[in-house]
């Protein structure tokens, strides 16, 4: 007879799991300061050493941050997100664009296949926000609308893992969009490609949506290459 091993979690692992659940459920949001050590010991019914070991593990994973004099705070919504954000923050802009290209091309295909009318409405709203920001030469508003547009494409895929991966790249996306917008702010080409992307998704034309992403990324990579040569 085959005997399976029992799966026994240590007290430290149990505390880590419970804190992760509090964070991922939104009970403790990013920026939340954790209760005092004594309160947490009572809440989890563990010793000081067990609690501290669990906190150290969560700090190491990037979910928590501890600062002398200000306590321990939540700094990410998930261990996956923290790991992605750390890695992306160390990447070159070229690498970020290549990852964006792969994610957004597949997101465009899935969005075209799965989008709802509400999704199309949001995409057109953010596209209009891009146009309005362009008209008044507002770089910050344009970069924000651009990111919202691409996140709305990801949301329309209904693929929760893809959405989470994309959300956790937000800081790197902010950086790449701002840098490239500064190189060639709100050009007609940029807006034309955005319009092709939105209309491809609206028409549920997967190939057209994916091709719009290919054009968009080729355009951004050309901008980056030109800036590096100068």
Position of tokens 């992403």?
Answer: 213
How far is it, in rounded angstroms, from Cα 177 to Cα 104? 14
CATH 1.20.120.530 at 90-229, yes or no: yes
Q: What are the residue ranges of CATH 1.10.10.10 in the chain?
A: 11-77
Q: What are the residue ranges of CATH 1.20.120.530 in the chain?
A: 90-229
Handedness of CA 163, 164, 167, 168 (dihedral sign): negative
Q: How many CA atoms lie within 13 A of 96 on its CB side?
A: 25
CATH 1.10.10.10 at 11-77, yes or no: yes
Q: Give the model confidence (pLDDT) of 81-124 as tens digits.
A: 677 766 666 667 778 788 888 989 999 999 999 999 999 999 99
Helices (H), the chain: 11-24, 37-44, 48-61, 79-89, 93-114, 117-135, 139-155, 160-167, 170-183, 188-202, 206-229
Task: Please name every residue paired with 65 in a beta bridge, in sequence order, or none if there are none.
Answer: 73
Which residues fall within 8 angstroms of residue 144, CB to CB, at 6 or more apart? 133
Q: Give the model confidence (pLDDT) of 149-198 as tens digits.
A: 999 999 999 999 898 888 777 655 666 666 666 555 556 777 889 999 99
**Model confidence pTM above 0.85:** no
């Amino acid at each position: 007879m085959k005997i399976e091993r029992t799966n026994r979690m240590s007290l430290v692992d149990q505390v880590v799991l419970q804190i992760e659940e509090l964070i991922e459920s939104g009970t403790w949001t990013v920026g939340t300061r954790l209760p005092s050590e004594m309160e947490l010991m009572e809440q989890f019914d563990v010793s000081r050493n067990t609690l501290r070991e669990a906190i150290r593990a969560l700090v190491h994973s990037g979910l928590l941050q501890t600062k002398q004099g200000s306590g321990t705070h939540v700094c990410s919504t998930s261990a996956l997100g923290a790991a992605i954000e750390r890695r992306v923050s160390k990447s070159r802009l070229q690498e970020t664009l290549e990852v964006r290209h792969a994610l957004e091309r597949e997101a465009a295909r899935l969005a075209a296949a799965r989008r709802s009318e509400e999704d199309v409405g949001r995409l057109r709203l953010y596209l209009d926000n891009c146009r309005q920001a362009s008209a008044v030469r507002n770089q910050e508003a344009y970069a924000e609308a651009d990111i919202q547009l691409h996140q709305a494409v990801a949301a329309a895929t209904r693929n929760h893992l893809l959405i989470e991966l994309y959300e956790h790249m937000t800081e790197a996306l902010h950086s790449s969009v701002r840098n490239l917008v500064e190189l060639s702010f709100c050009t007609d080409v940029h807006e034309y490609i955005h319009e092709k992307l939105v209309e491809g998704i609206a028409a549920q034309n997967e190939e057209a949506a994916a091709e719009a992403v290919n054009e968009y990324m080729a355009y951004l990579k050309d901008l980056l290459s030109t800036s590096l040569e100068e």
